[in-house]
C-alpha cells in the first residue's frame, strides 16, 4: 500500500530500483550511490526509506523497538497485505511474541551445543573433498576442474544440515527451491517471485510435513524444538513454525556463503596461500566472505512511529530497506572495503544482522565454512577461476548458479 507523499525536503530521493535484474546482478554501483547520497535515502519507486551506510544499518538493526519486524521484513507490509505463508515467529515477530521461540533456538543452536557436531562435520567435509577430487581426477600437472556450486557449495550443507535437523531422507531436493522462493518473496512481486509461485503449494506442504513431531529424528535440532514445547517453553503450535524457520533459512544461506568464500579465494590466490600458511584463519576467511559478498543482501523493517535517523524523520508505517551488503562495504567503516583480506578483522559486519534478530544459525554457518575450508586447504594448494561464474538472481540473496574452478592438488 503506497501513498507516496513526498518525504521531508532534507531526505535525498532516488528513483533506483534495487530489485531490477541489473542491480541484483551487480549491486555495488547502487550501494555506493545510495551511501553517498545521504544517511537516509527515499526510494520513490518503492515508497521506502533506504539505509546503506554502516552506521545507519547498524542502528536500525539493533533498534527493535522502533524498527519493527512484525509487519514483515520484506517489502510487503503485513498490516495491509496477506503474507504468502503464516509469518515466521522468529523473523517476522517482535518482543514479546519473539522472546520464547528465539530463546529456544538460541539454546539449541548455541556455540557450545555445536561442539558435539564439530568432529563429525570436519570428517564429513574431509570425506566430501576426497570424493569430489576422486570424481574429478587431476591432469598430469595436478590440476582438476569442477563446478564448485553443485560439487561443494550445495553438496556440503545438504550433507550435514538436514541430518542435524533430523528430517527424513525423502524430498530433500525441495529444500533449496523452498528457501530460494522464501528469500525471493521478501522482494517485490516480480518475475523471480512469479516463477516460483506455481511450486509453492507443493513445496510448502512438504516443508510443513517435515516440521511435525513424528517426522523428526531423536537427537536432532527438530526434536530439541519439540522437547522445548514439551517443557512448556514454547507452545505446540509454535514448535513446527520454529522448525520451519530452520529449514527456510538454514540451507540456501550457507550454500551461497560457501559459494561466496570459494569465489573470493578464486579471485585472490594470495589469500588461499595465506590460509594454507595459517589454517586457523578458516573462520576469519568465512566471515570475511560473508562481509564482502553478503549472501543475504537486504532486509526490511517498518517504522513503528515517526523515527529519527541520520537527521531524517522516517514517517510511521513506512518500510525501511537496510542494505546489509552496502553497510559491509562502506568505506566509512572499512579500510579498503572491496578487498578480500584475511588479515583484516571482519568482526562487526552485519552479514548476519545484529541485535535480537541476529542470525541464530550463524554458528552453524561458520562451522560449515570452517569444515569445508579446512578440508580443502589440506588437499588443494591453488584455486583459480576456470571460466566466468554465472549468477543466480534472487531478490534477497547473492547467489551463484555456477562457479567453474580449477584446483591444484597439493
Partner 1 sequence: MTQAPAAPDDRTVVVTAKSKTADGVVTLTLARPAGGRLPDWAPGSHLDLVLPGGLTRQYSLCGDRWDAFRYRIAVRREAGAAGASAYIHDRLREGDVLGIGGPRNNFPLVPADRYLFIAGGIGITPLLPMVAQADLLGVDWTLLYAGRSAGTMAFLDELAGYGERVRVFAGDAGKRLDLADWLGEPRPGERVYCCGPDRLVAEVRARCTTWPSHSLRTERFTPAALSVTADSGPFEVKLARTGATVTVGPGATVLDAVLGAGASVLSSCRRGLCGTCETTVLDGRPDHRDSLLDDEERAGGDSMFICVSRSVGGRLVLDL
* Segment interacting with partner 1 (CB under 8 A) among 157-165, 261-269, 340-348, 379-387: 340-348
Site for partner 1 in 235-264 (CB under 8 A): 235, 238
DSSP 136: S
Residues ≥6 apart with Cβ < 8 Å to 116: none
Using CB under 8 A, which of 64, 78, 84, 143 touches partner 1? 64
Please state the closest distance from residue 334 (CB atom) to partner 1, in A: 6
* Segment interacting with partner 1 (CB under 8 A) among 8-16, 63-71, 194-202, 250-258: 63-71
- 112 lies in the site for partner 1, by CB under 8 A: yes
* Segment interacting with partner 1 (CB under 8 A) among 40-48, 95-103, 204-212, 384-392: 95-103
Please state the closest distance from residue 238 (CB atom) to partner 1, in A: 7
Please state the closest distance from residue 142 (CB atom) to partner 1, in A: 29
Please state the closest distance from residue 403 (CB atom) to partner 1, in A: 24
Please state the closest distance from residue 97 (CB atom) to partner 1, in A: 7
Please state the closest distance from residue 236 (CB atom) to partner 1, in A: 10
Which lies closer to partner 1 via its Cβ, residue 213 or residue 278?
Answer: 278
Q: Which residue has the cell 573470493?
A: 264
Coil, strand or helix at 353: coil
Q: Is the peptide bond before 96 cis (omega within 30 degrees of 0)?
A: yes
How far is C-alpha 152 from the geometric centre of its chain's CA atoms?
Answer: 17
Which lies closer to partner 1 via its Cβ, residue 255 or residue 281?
Answer: 281
Smallest CA-to-CA distance from 265 within 384, 388, 95 is with 384
Site for partner 1 in 264-293 (CB under 8 A): 278, 280-281, 283-284, 287
DSSP 301: E
- 58 lies in the site for partner 1, by CB under 8 A: yes
Please state the closest distance from residue 51 (CB atom) to partner 1, in A: 13
Q: 304 with 275: CB under 8 angstroms?
A: no
DSSP 114: T
As a whole number of angstroms, the distance between CA 184 and CA 81 comes to: 17
Using CB under 8 A, which of 189, 276, 363, 408 touches partner 1? 363
Residues ≥6 apart with Cβ < 8 Å to 13: 7, 41, 42, 44
As a whole number of angstroms, the distance between CA 165 and CA 175 comes to: 12
As a whole number of angstroms, the distance between CA 169 and CA 140 comes to: 39
Smallest CA-to-CA distance from 337 within 56, 31, 14, 24 is with 31
Please state the closest distance from residue 232 (CB atom) to partner 1, in A: 4
- 233 lies in the site for partner 1, by CB under 8 A: yes
- 209 lies in the site for partner 1, by CB under 8 A: no
What is the per-residue burial (b if ≥16 Cβ within 10 Å, else e) of 216-238? beeebbbbbbbebbeeebbeeeb
Coil, strand or helix at 359: coil
Q: What mask, x for binding partner 1 by CB under 8 A, covers residues 188 to 207?
A: --------------------
Binding residues (CB under 8 A) for partner 1: these are 54-55, 58-59, 62-65, 95-97, 99-100, 103, 110-112, 231-235, 238, 278, 280-281, 283-284, 287, 331-335, 345-348, 352, 354-356, 358, 362-363, 366
Amino acid at each position: 500500500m503506497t501513498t507516496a507523499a513526498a518525504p521531508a525536503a532534507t531526505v535525498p530521493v532516488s528513483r533506483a530500483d534495487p530489485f531490477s535484474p541489473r542491480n541484483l546482478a551487480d549491486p555495488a554501483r547502487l550501494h555506493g550511490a545510495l551511501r553517498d547520497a545521504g544517511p537516509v535515502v527515499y526510494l520513490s519507486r518503492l515508497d521506502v526509506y533506504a539505509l546503506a551506510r554502516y552506521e545507519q544499518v547498524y542502528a536500525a538493526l539493533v533498534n527493535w523497538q522502533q524498527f519493527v519486524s512484525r509487519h514483515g521484513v520484506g517489502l510487503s507490509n503485513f498490516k495491509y497485505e496477506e503474507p504468502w505463508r503464516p509469518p515466521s515467529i522468529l523473523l517476522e515477530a517482535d518482543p514479546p511474541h519473539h522472546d520464547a521461540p528465539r530463546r529456544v533456538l538460541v539454546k539449541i543452536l548455541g556455540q557450545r551445543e555445536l561442539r558435539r557436531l564439530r568432529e563429525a562435520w570436519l570428517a564429513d567435509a574431509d570425506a566430501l573433498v576426497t570424493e569430489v577430487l576422486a570424481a574429478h581426477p587431476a591432469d598430469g600437472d595436478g590440476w582438476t576442474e569442477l563446478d564448485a556450486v553443485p560439487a561443494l557449495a550445495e553438496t556440503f550443507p545438504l550433507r550435514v544440515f538436514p541430518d542435524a535437523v533430523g528430517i527424513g531422507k525423502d524430498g530433500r531436493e525441495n529444500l533449496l527451491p523452498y528457501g530460494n522462493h522464501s528469500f525471493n518473496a521478501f522482494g517485490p512481486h516480480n518475475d523471480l517471485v512469479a516463477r516460483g509461485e506455481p511450486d509453492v503449494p507443493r513445496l510448502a506442504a512438504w516443508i510443513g510435513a517435515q516440521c511435525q513431531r513424528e517426522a523428526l529424528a531423536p537427537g536432532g535440532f527438530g526434536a530439541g524444538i519439540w522437547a522445548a514445547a514439551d517443557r512448556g517453553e514454547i507452545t505446540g503450535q509454535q514448535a513446527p513454525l520454529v522448525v520451519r524457520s530452520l529449514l527456510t533459512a538454514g540451507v540456501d544461506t550457507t550454500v551461497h556463503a560457501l559459494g561466496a568464500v570459494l569465489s573470493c579465494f578464486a579471485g585472490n590466490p594470495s589469500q588461499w596461500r595465506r590460509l594454507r600458511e595459517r589454517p586457523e584463519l578458516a573462520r576469519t576467511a568465512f566471515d570475511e566472505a560473508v562481509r564482502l559478498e553478503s549472501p543475504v543482501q537486504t532486509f526490511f523493517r517498518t517504522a513503528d512511529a515517526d523515527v529519527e535517523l541520520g537527521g531524517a524523520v522516517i514517517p510511521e508505517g513506512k518500510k525501511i530497506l537496510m542494505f546489509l551488503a552496502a553497510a559491509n562495504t562502506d568505506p566509512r567503516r572499512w579500510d579498503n572495503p572491496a578487498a578480500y583480506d584475511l588479515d583484516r578483522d571482519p568482526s562487526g559486519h552485519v552479514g548476519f544482522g545484529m541485535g535480537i534478530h541476529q542470525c541464530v544459525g550463524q554458528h552453524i554457518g561458520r562451522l560449515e565454512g570452517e569444515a569445508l575450508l579446512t578440508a580443502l586447504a589440506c588437499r588443494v594448494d591453488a584455486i583459480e577461476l576456470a571460466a566466468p561464474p554465472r549468477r543466480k538472481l534472487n531478490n534477497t540473496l547473492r547467489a551463484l548458479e555456477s562457479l567453474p574452478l580449477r584446483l591444484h592438488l597439493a
